[in-house]
Structure 1
Amino acid sequence: DEPPRWTPADAAATVAPVELPGSAGWGVAVEPAADGTDYRIVRRLNNPYSLLRFGFLYFEYNLDANEPIDLVLTVGPPPGTTEGEVVEARVQLRPAAELARAIAAGDRAVEIVPDGTWRALVVPLAEVLRGGNMPANPYIQAIAFAPRDPQSVRAGAGWAFAAPRAIRAGTSPTARVVWSATDETGVTGYATLLDQNPHSLPPTDAVTQETEVRIDALPGALSWYHVRAQDGAGNWGPVEHFPLYVPPVPGG
């Protein structure tokens, strides 16, 4: 996929990468340099993915209550087909006190906690985008974050997003994870860890040669399985973080 970039390219803003472990190189913090700046951070996907198959979107954010930012998605038909039009779908990121009002007004909206600290969110994207002018078999072509009202943008009112991941949800608190690695010096083993932290580093004092694991009881609705490989020269590679998600049962 393309690296994150701002559009329009000449938007007056200060942009800095966000160095969060596990952000897969996709994290950015921005401060608009002028009032009323219409800008957005966009990631266009070289390989659009099926919303019917991967119905949830995970990302991390750092916002405060004075920064009304929306999730903006470019949605189209399956690649190589003309089954529907390409549309832009906007999902408002609202604090709890504003969520019911936004939904009652007919807006697509999900709840966030805009308190100026890093938080994580899983958006039930397939459910939120259902209906309207969506293609029958929708594919996500681009993910963006943008001000809800550019006229309300104030210079220096920064915000940040990182680590978006499309997630395919499970139906029971069990999982099977399979992985592999190759290296010209060979692969001597793997370090692994299961927890609920998206950025954990598996300890390297316990190495396994297994390339598959079955988990009979996930520790929570959103869990992470972390894997890194060791090559034949003893070097440890980067960590791959596998999200394992079972949506909470409403009212449960």
Structure 2
Amino acid sequence: MRIPFLLALSALGGGALDTPSAAQQADPHIYRAVFIRAAPGRLLDLIDHLKIRREVYRALGEPEPLLARHSQGDHWDLLLLEPVGSLPDFYAPERQARCDRAAVEAGITTEEWSRRAELMVAWREELFVAGPPLAEFQERNRDVGFYHLEVFLGLAGKRDSLLNQRRMENQYLAAIGRPLNLIFTRQAGAAWDLFTLGFYRDLQHYAEPTAVSVEKQDAAAISAGFESRNHIGSYLRRFLSAHHDTLLSRVP
């Protein structure tokens, strides 16, 4: 049986390299991130094709993946971030059978949907990550239309420090009244060690300046463990082998 495109299980090699948060340790929720570059001239066709699959998730009673379109930054076109829960449950034969039945009821078999999707995709990269509880993810994703994604590849021996820096930066953001980033840590798949995702109403919300004074920003940075607010970025770079930023708009 052919494993469907965008539902195929990647070869799972190795465990997570970073220590997950307390919430993730207690009840880890797995997500599947797929970065996709469309074939030339096929982006809008691919978006429409991916949206067809939403009917299958609804029929299964499962949360729909977040689908967002690249605005500027990395070289791919689309992010698909799918709440998985647990890999054994997600890829259980019983669930796959229900998924196939739901696809038929939606008007296109899983195999045919996958075949057509392959014709529209030039490149893709897939990563399984441990992320926040599903309820937190869904609440953050409610009524937003813009995202800031940062993906990170840590230096050897520095991945724990990289994860800690992202948590420190969230502490700083909370202190100055800015939205916190959700943190996702690698479990299997592509090389990236972790990524963070910020949720905003729109570009203006993302770009708006903080009303907090420079002095209070510095105090917040120091309280979070940084030397000052101007040292947040340079401190992060101590732990990085690679780092990509991408701004994205939600696909309705």
Considering the TM-score relative to the shorter chain, is it more than 0.5? no
Normalising to structure 1: TM-score of the pair? Answer: 0.33
Structure with a larger share of its residues in strand: 1
Structure number with higher relative contact order (C-alpha < 8 Å, ≥ 6 residues apart): 2
